[in-house]
Structure 1
Amino acid sequence: MFKKISILLFLVISLLLTACGRQDNIGDETVSSSIIVGDLDWKEITSLSTSSPIRQNSGAVVDLDLPAMGSRCTGFMITEDILMTNHHCIPAASYARGVTAQFKHEAGVQKEDRESFDCSTFIGNHSELDFALLKCQGAPGAKYGVAQLSDKIAAKNLSVYVIQQNCDYYSVSDCDWSKKYSIGNITKIDAEYTHNADTLGGSSGSPVFSGSDHHVIALHHAGYGNNGMGRGYENYAVPMYKILAVLKSQFGMFAGTGGTSGGSRKFLDGGKSQSSALSLSAGSYDAEIEDAGADYFKLSLTKTTAMKVQIAFSHSKGDLDMALYNSKGQKLKVSEGTTNSELISMSLARGTYYLKVYGYSGATGKYVIELEK
């Protein structure tokens, strides 16, 4: 009897150590690293044609071995030598010790044909946005590819796919966590995105790609409602536009570009009063508040329009807020949160409106502003 209990405990502990991921209790439910939503429908990446954009994007995704954590995560290359994963996979510099990234860990690929790179140099991390950056020796991104990061705000119901290193170890304890992909949708947009693409612990740090332009729209990092067998209700991902804002402001990466593709993004110098407000058209732009001032933008609508405007910035460097006014100067809506972004979304009748971006208590700083209408 005691022998059976010992074996059972060993198997449970082994499953817990197989994959990294955060796990917090919320009442009687659990927020875990990742879950399977409904029936498991992920597929091996090698089941796709080599001409498939999903298969082509998979080259940048790696199996990340974390000896200091005693576990594993997924990661992906964002430059030729910089890898991104979750903060909870690399919570501090000491956890980067001995980290290796294995490429081509795919079904049908023999171990001797896979390639591992030393990615043990810690660059930095961010707890709120749950990301970490590691530098890899040998520039593996030049050989296997680099994921393009999107600065767009995802729309609800957007088709997405997650590329990850995983397997259903709840059903088969000794399964191979070869590279797989799962397809789903963005089901809710809030401070982070909710999606229903299947994942499990070990998928932490996986890129969530837009099904429309095949750029990374978010960083997968958590799930909700694990029933003890990895099945639950929904998964969560950090919007990439928020991460990009921090990469630019705190790490000096991708300055002046909309992601890794190298395309330049226009800089807007907002007006300093309502009378000098700068006309704002749909798109994504860089901007900056200086000298404890404010930026004013003008919105001209020719018909009733569902409008959404969002700013992304580094809250730790300055808390920025946003307010919307009508042509008479009456305040219609305000967004004054305490995170790295502010959002105003509402339906507006034909007319002229003004958007004011300002710093709390005189705060200044760079930000990205995006208008959708």
Structure 2
Amino acid sequence: MKTINNYSLSFSSITANVIGTATFMAAPGVSNQFAYSLDGTNFTLIGSPVTTSGSGSQVPIPTIDLSSVTALQNVSSGTTVYFRYYASGQTATGGWGFSSSSSGTNGLAFTGFLIPGCTQPSSQASTITVSNINTTGLDAGFTRGNDNGTVLVLKPSAQATVTPAGGTAYTANTDWNLAGQISINNRVIANSSASPLTNVSVNGISNLAPATGYTLTAYERNATNCYNLSAAPSASFYTFSNLPLGHAASFTCSVISSSQIDLSFSTFSGLGNTAGYLVLQKAGSTPTGLPANGTSYSVGSTVGDAVVAAVITSSSATAHSLTGLNGST
């Protein structure tokens, strides 16, 4: 048997009527068993043998349930399934076979059902944007394709990608804990039916882990929830770390020369959520600029009206020298 194009097939049962010579089917009867194969070579027996007996008249084989045979469920389009039937009777010779005693009786019948396959949408979503990132969330957006809708899937970047299953409708939620799950690490945070080719905002994505990389991917879908898995756009980002729990307990400076100042400060090793110090300098007055969350700075970077004078990353450091300064400034 072979499934037709664009459909998958699930088998439900086998029913059969058999007949043979009286000597072959005499007590204790004939042992009957079916087997299946997906390659035509390696066959797997189905269930346990069942026994039929009689005196030469047609008898039914008890129905063989196939619904629990995983390999015979959702058999993909174009796959050929092979079946074999084994019978062991009471004599080495004698007739035996399937029998249909009337037009309304099947000698052998397989039951099951066809499942329509998916035809991928011809268009794809595009242009994923991220903004307003914080420690546990962000705002995002994307541009719709030209089919019936678009789903936006979020996952931790370190986890494997699992794509949406064809024919499955997902319930979206911007709360990670409530979002529909493709898998535990791939969740649908938006399922938009906005007008084709329009920009869609997905604001208030929440309950993410701090200091973690995430990836957003958009898939266009059609009316039967078949998804375009080809060239799906994606965007990656990091949530912010939790803010440091304090500042340096002490911070002083000493003039060494007309071009050097030595800084002295307490270590940051005892401060929670702290990876270092950023030291700003401004000639003539106190700096008023503030560093921006999520931005990496190096010495010489501009921060508002100041520049970065030092980046302290050693947890044991208590001193740093600033050189090359202008005298009398």
TM-score by length of 1: 0.21
Structure holding more helix per residue: 1
TM-score by length of 2: 0.23
Larger Rg: 2
